[in-house]
């Protein structure tokens, strides 16, 4: 980009898609916090005093359990009261995060409906999925000039992943994950037939290093001829 060789236009951040990105970041962090709060609640219940644990075992449903915990009255601090105080604090945190997530969902539904109403009409596409796809495109979708370029951004672009003897492809997820795609290092059949792999030590030299080369003249000569013929046959094998 700095050298002036890049011709692709970057994403613009001046319209509704940038607003969706801001809300999506806030929602994702709230979802992580709510999940962590629920895991902490379950861990504390497992190690809570027997009396408190038996009272909570009969409650079914996540929302019913959270509301029950949020309404606890710890009283004077004891072993049971401290568990009640921690469970009540975490349950109220879970409720606050849940309300925040629902507020973000309402805003995202409104913005995605304004940006891509036809996308939301498709089967299986909700506001979260539409928001992710809009973030890939950006505020200036005209910069993507072909379907192949859009597939590359979505990580659904197949790239060659075969050695030449077979035709095999895999998905390139570098645009989505941000990690570079590992290059294919397999040799093609034509390359194997034309040139051999570089080697710093010959087969005889490797045998000498391992102590398997005998010093008798006639037997070594005949053995060397057979070894050379085997190497040539293996190299020319398709």
Q: What percent of the chain has pLDDT over 70?
A: 66
Q: For all residues of the chain together, what is the average pLDDT?
A: 76
Whether residue 30 is predicted with pLDDT greater than 70 in this model: the reply is yes
Helix (H) or strand (E) holding 26: helix 16-46
Average pLDDT over residues 49-60: 86
In 3D space, the residue among 196, 178, 179 whose CA is nearest the CA of residue 187 turns out to be 196
Whether residue 184 is predicted with pLDDT greater than 60 in this model: the reply is no
Assess contact for 17 and 134: CB atoms under 8 A.
Answer: yes
What is the model's pLDDT at position 116? 86
pTM for this entry: 0.58
Whether residue 36 is predicted with pLDDT greater than 80 in this model: the reply is yes
In 3D space, the residue among 28, 47, 43 whose CA is nearest the CA of residue 90 turns out to be 43
d(C-alpha 222, C-alpha 110), whole Å: 84
Residue 197 backbone dihedrals phi, psi, to 5 degrees: -65, 140
Helix 16-46 with 79-115: angle, nearest 10 deg: 160
Average pLDDT over residues 160-165: 68
What is the model's pLDDT at position 22? 92
In this predicted model, what pLDDT tens digit does every residue of 58-91 receive, in sequence order? Answer: 888 889 999 999 998 887 777 678 889 999 999 9
C-beta neighbour count of 147 within 10 angstroms: 9
Whether residue 238 is predicted with pLDDT greater than 70 in this model: the reply is no
What is the model's pLDDT at position 65? 92
CA distances to 60, 98, 205, 235 from 43, rounded to whole Å, are 17, 20, 63, 62
Identify the band that residue 186 occupies on the pLDDT scale cut at 50, 70 and 90. Answer: very low
Identify the band that residue 195 occupies on the pLDDT scale cut at 50, 70 and 90. Answer: very low
**DSSP secondary structure of 117-156:** HHHHTSTT--HHHHHHHHHHH-S-GGG--SHHHHHHHHT-
Identify the band that residue 146 occupies on the pLDDT scale cut at 50, 70 and 90. Answer: confident
**What distance, in Å, lies between the first and last C-alpha atoms of the chain?**
45
d(C-alpha 67, C-alpha 65), whole Å: 6
Whether residue 233 is predicted with pLDDT greater than 80 in this model: the reply is no
């Amino acid at each position: 980009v700095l050298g002036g060789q890049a011709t692709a236009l970057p994403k613009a951040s001046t319209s509704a898609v940038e607003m969706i990105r801001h809300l999506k970041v806030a929602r994702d962090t709230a979802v992580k916090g709510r999940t962590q709060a629920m895991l902490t609640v379950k861990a504390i219940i497992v190690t809570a005093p027997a009396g408190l644990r038996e009272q909570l075992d009969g409650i079914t449903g996540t929302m019913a359990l959270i509301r029950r915990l949020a309404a606890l009255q710890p009283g004077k601090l004891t072993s049971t009261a401290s568990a009640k105080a921690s469970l009540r604090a975490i349950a109220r945190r879970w409720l606050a995060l849940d309300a925040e997530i629902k507020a973000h969902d309402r805003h995202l539904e409104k913005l995605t409906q304004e940006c891509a109403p036809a996308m939301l009409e498709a089967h299986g596409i909700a506001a979260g999925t539409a928001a992710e796809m809009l973030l890939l495109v950006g505020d200036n979708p005209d910069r993507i000039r072909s379907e192949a370029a859009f597939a590359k951004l979505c990580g659904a672009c197949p790239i060659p992943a075969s050695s030449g003897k077979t035709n095999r492809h895999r998905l390139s997820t570098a645009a989505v994950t941000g990690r570079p795609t590992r290059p294919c290092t397999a040799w093609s059949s034509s390359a194997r037939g034309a040139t051999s792999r570089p080697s710093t030590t010959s087969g005889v030299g490797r045998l000498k290093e391992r102590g398997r080369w005998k010093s008798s003249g006639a037997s070594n000569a005949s053995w060397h001829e057979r070894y050379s013929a085997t190497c040539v046959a293996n190299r020319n094998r398709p």
